A = this chain, B = another copy of it.
């Protein structure tokens, strides 16, 4: 049983190989009657697009989304929203030399062994190009969230060893888009840009961390005992290529705190329950409590580097893999829009799911 669907009520079914005809998907469960502006979706897609600055890769794709169904006279019909983005700039021959090679820390070997037959061009289905579908679905999900007043922010917290020294409350969430690498901490941003430039010269790659903050989310979302809000967010994040870690609220740091320090005390302010601190990250017992939801996601350094590497081919021969082609030094800035898209899908799904808990 394959795994190309995400969500239970607000659901994305995704398809497409990096160098096939198109990347696309179907969003099932989008309710009827919402105004859907395709330009909004296109804008989100543009943020994810390669070739936006010297800091990100230079593959040239138009990435023009086409909506095939589900929208009529500018409003959603409650029927499935089919969409696609054509793959234009595919140069399949560039990949001939990789047909029988298992690149280090790529999915070549595992796809070969799992499926027997694979599209080796640009990683095929395992390529991060697949996230095009996620961004489209995330933009649709966000329409539902906006109507509820929920706002999502995501930004680059660290690149390599350069890390913002501020937590999200000390940063201006509205300045994220002012940064070419989506880092609202000006000090950190400068050092990050230098590190990216320097690493590019070395032909090497970098990882980093993305922080996501969900503000103004009503209490009550999340479906224990298995589909807790943080569990679905964790799955959503770890389903993104290159992600190696996830922490919600106090995260790994919590393991070093005592209960008396970590407990979030309830207070009642203006007829609303709040907690004095928010180590819980806005979720208790798997259900949102109305406080900010925040979490951090770890991305490993990109596996494709411009340095030569030894590896094996299909026959088991040791092979020297040359570093060449066009590639990002780091995915972290572009990953910001994927993190947001996946988070939006999780929250939209939980909104719809919660409507069944009291009927």
Determine which residue in A16, A25, A231, A246 has the highest number of CB atoms from chain B within 10 A of its CB, and name it.
Answer: A246
Q: How far is the CA of A2 from the CA of B207 in the complex (A)?
A: 36
Stretch of A41-49, A72-80, A175-183 that contacts chain B: A72-80
Q: Is the CB of A265 within 8 A of B311?
A: yes
The reply to whether the CB of A53 lies closer than 8 angstroms to some CB of chain B is no
Q: Is A185 an interface residue (CB 8 A)?
A: no
Instruction: Tell which of A55-63, A166-174, A249-257 binds the partner.
Output: A249-257
Do residues A78 and B13 form an inter-chain contact, with CB atoms below 8 A?
A: no
Q: What copy number does this chain have within its complex?
A: 4
Q: Is the CB of A105 within 8 A of B225?
A: no
**What is the bound-complex CA distance between A320 and B234, given in angstroms?**
35
Contact A225 B3 (CB under 8 A): yes
Tell me how far the C-beta of A298 lies from the nearest C-beta in chain B, rounded to whole angstroms: 5
> Is the CB–CB distance between A15 and B160 below 8 Å?
no
Closest CB of chain B to A66's CB: distance in Å? 7
On chain A, the number of residues with a Cβ less than 8 Å from chain B's Cβ atoms is: 155
Asked if B280 and A105 sit within 8 Å, CB to CB, the answer is yes
Least Cβ–Cβ distance between A222 and chain B, in angstroms: 8
Hey, which chain B residues are within 8 Å of A15, CB to CB? 26, 68-70, 79-82
A2/B117 in contact, CB under 8 A: no
CB within 8 Å for A207 and B255 given contacts A33-B117, A225-B125: yes
Task: Give Cα distance in the complex from A9 to B355, angstroms.
Answer: 11
For the complex, is A8 an interface residue (Cβ under 8 Å from B)?
yes
